[in-house]
A and B are shown apart, each in its own frame.
Chain A
Amino acid sequence: MKKQWIILVAIVMLAILAIFQTSKPNKEELSKVKHIAPQISLTGLDGKIYTLEDLNGKPVVVNFWASWCGPCEDEAPELVRLYEKYSEKVEIYAVNVTTSDSVKGAIAFAEKYGFEFPVLLDIEGTVSEKYRIQSFPTTYFINGEGVIVEKVIGLLSPRDLERKSKQLIR
């Protein structure tokens, strides 16, 4: 019985330590969860330059896509729906990996699905290289402090896309 009380005290102490544990994100800019997201500076289809600093603490969903990718077509209407619902609280950067696509294709795709959010063109492939993009779609969920909270390779279900985006708002 004495042993059980020692275990209980240890559990309580660990829980208290965990509650008061201060944690800072890893400062090295890497495309890994719990790291500061690598810098983005890309021109959008509207001619403006977009960066992560421009967001001033607003969380962002960075979606890497290409117009020929089937799952990206499935995901596009969901991104549009998400933006309609949460555009005031969460930004969406749809990064077209133009090195594997074409500007023409990107424009046609964005028009077809009615993208209202910034569509960025990664013409030189620098950003997709920094984010280690190997397949489409790949989505990063970045919180207001610029920390990558989650990375998803492949198509997300509409329910999970909304849930993960809502988690950024808290």
Chain B
Amino acid sequence: MPEILQFGPFMIKLDWVLIGISGMAGYFVIKRINKGSTFGELPVLDRLMNSFMIVFFVWKFSPLLFSPSILWTNPLSLITTAGSFAGLWIGVMVATLYMIISLRRLKIPVLFLADLLALGFVTTILVYNMLGWQYGSATSLPWGISIEDPLFKYHPINVYLLVIAAPVFIQLWKQRSKIGSGSMLVSLLTYFGMGLMLISFFKPKITMLLGLSSQQIMYLLMMISGFIITMILSRFKHHEQKIIRERGEELYDADRVLSDEASDRI
């Protein structure tokens, strides 16, 4: 498959088209789940789209942030220059801030959106990996796939990803009635993170830090955050149960006092 699609004078990376198609699939799943939820009437998805636009525009025009002189020396280069990596992170931070403010105004819990995004993300990954081959490290296993030379065979990474993403998707779909509890986010971060880390062992590695590749560092952070969020949520749940129990006891005591007084009066 060509890496670039050409339409007359316009060119676009095939990967971007595939990401766009899979992203749309993720968006439709989010839309469907949101429609049946408590917050279905609120403009959550509009805000979400706005934040994606913020990420895109901040990323695209980020060269201007680091070298504003482009504006008067070569403004046209802004169209052809790709945004910077730092610009992407700034865009994500600005969009997150925008989303937090929007959620507060709409009185929607952050965990609701996090659960929605978790399902959308897994759907996107699932569809993306159905659309094309991804090659891992060399293998002699019978299911290895070739790129050009049939003598060289590689792990079919997209198939492995489908094997991991499909059960995670089913699990999240089953949990959709619990949306807003954070359980979908935790499942994504912990179990999908574990799956991704496992798959990374079948890919050639370019070490970045402490023997880990940049992707492996990301997966590790995913798993650790999943674990931390589980601990926080279970503490919170435990604390809530304790309050309910104490309140119940207080109410029981008050009720007993009242009934004792009533019987005394009689």
Chain A contact residues, CB within 8 Å of chain B: 1, 4, 7-8, 10-11, 14-15, 17-21, 23-28, 30, 32, 34, 70-71, 74, 132, 134-135, 143, 147, 149, 152-160, 163
Contact = CB atoms under 8 A, between A and B. Distances in A.
18 contacts: A8-B227, A11-B220, A14-B197, A14-B198, A14-B223, A18-B200, A19-B212, A21-B211, A28-B148, A30-B148, A74-B80, A134-B3, A154-B81, A155-B81, A157-B81, A157-B87, A158-B67, A160-B85
Interface centre among A24, A27, A71, A159 (most CB of B within 10 A): A159
Interface residues on B, range: 35 or more
Nearest to B5: A134
Interface of B: 2-4, 6, 11, 13, 62-63, 66-67, 74, 76-77, 80-87, 135, 137-138, 147-149, 152, 154, 190, 194, 197-198, 200-201, 203-207, 210-212, 216, 220, 223-224, 227, 230-231, 234
Contacts of B149: 28
A14 to B, nearest CB: 5
B194 A156 contact: no
Contacts of A21: 200-201, 205, 211
Interface centre among B66, B80, B85 (most CB of A within 10 A): B80
B201 A153 contact: no
Contacts of B87: 157
Given A27-B138, A27-B152, A154-B82, A19 B210 contact: yes
B197 A156 contact: no
A159 B11 contact: no
Contacts of B67: 158-159
Given A14-B198, A18-B201, A134-B3, A152 B82 contact: yes
A4 B227 contact: yes
Given A74-B77, A159-B84, 12 more contacts: A11-B224, A15-B197, A21-B205, A24-B204, A26-B137, A26-B204, A28-B147, A71-B77, A156-B81, A157-B66, A157-B81, A157-B82
Nearest to B13: A153
B201 A26 contact: no
Contacts of B4: 134-135, 153
A4 B77 contact: no
A155 B70 CA distance: 14
A72 to B, nearest CB: 10
